[in-house]
Amino acid sequence: DSGVTQTPKHLITATGQRVTLRCSPRSGDLSVYWYQQSLDQGLQFLIHYYNGEERAKGNILERFSAQQFPDLHSELNLSSLELGDSALYFCASSVTGLVVTGELFFGEGSRLTVL
Amino acid sequence: AQSVTQLDSQVPVFEEAPVELRCNYSSSVSVYLFWYVQYPNQGLQLLLKYLSGSTLVKGINGFEAEFNKSQTSFHLRKPSVHISDTAEYFCAVTSLSPSNTGKLIFGQGTTLQVKP
């Protein structure tokens, strides 16, 4: 158990819909990272938040947005869903804002299926 | 920008045999390298990391990796594998450049299949 909690674990929805994925980082960790894992794209970095502020953006679509709240939990919002958005979405946390100074602790992921 | 190439998508090996999972990276700046493991239906877990110092890095579960700057490689090795090592292995890279702060770039992954 990494200490990172993601909900829901599984989600099935239809095209055009909107979903919210939630992540609670390990106690004391200030950074939250979101990654998307799919068969064709592999593990893609989406976005990084540190202590409530956006730190870095990766290949995140405009239809996707995220935020980190004062209690440090984070939400990833996916809207106007398309079939290609079906993937496993991982949240990871770390103590600092610099990944090189510590490891990332990953949650078990939220599997999104868009029908 | 950095990139990572894992040269083998699948590596089948018999139990107690040695294994090497290959990883090459590309970067114009100094890099920091990681190997993560993903067991079925679980998140990723850090195996080992290279930040600086000795180029031979030892990790958990008997794994080790060697950083080779001239070859731009960071291959993962284990002298004797167990059935429980069956998993997906990811090589990852990052750097201290401001644009990369907090971002790990992952390879496509290598599936290690340990057969009895």
Q: Do A98 and B46 touch (CB under 8 A)?
A: no
CB nearest to B96's CB, from A50, A92, A100: A100
Those residues with Cβ within 8 angstroms of residue A16's Cβ, 6 or more apart along the chain or in another chain = A80, A81
Q: What is the pLDDT of residues A11-67, one digit of tens each?
A: 999 999 999 999 999 999 999 999 999 988 889 999 999 999 998 888 899 999 999
- The amino acid sitting at B79 is P
The tokens describing A83, both together, are 């079939």
Q: Do A104 and B41 touch (CB under 8 A)?
A: no
Beta bridge partners of A67: A75
Those residues with Cβ within 8 angstroms of residue A58's Cβ, 6 or more apart along the chain or in another chain = A44, A45, A46, A47, B103
Q: Which of residues 88-107 of B touch A (CB under 8 A)?
A: 90, 94-96, 99-107
Is pLDDT of A98 > 80? Answer: no
Average pLDDT, chain B: 91
Q: Which residue of A has its CA nearest to B32?
A: A100
CA–CA separation, A29 vs A40, rounded Å? 31
Is pLDDT of B101 > 80? Answer: no
Q: What is the pLDDT of residues B19-65, one digit of tens each?
A: 999 999 998 778 889 999 999 888 899 999 998 888 999 999 999 99
Confidence tier at A95 by pLDDT (50, 70, 90): confident
Q: Which residue of B has its CA nearest to A96?
A: B102
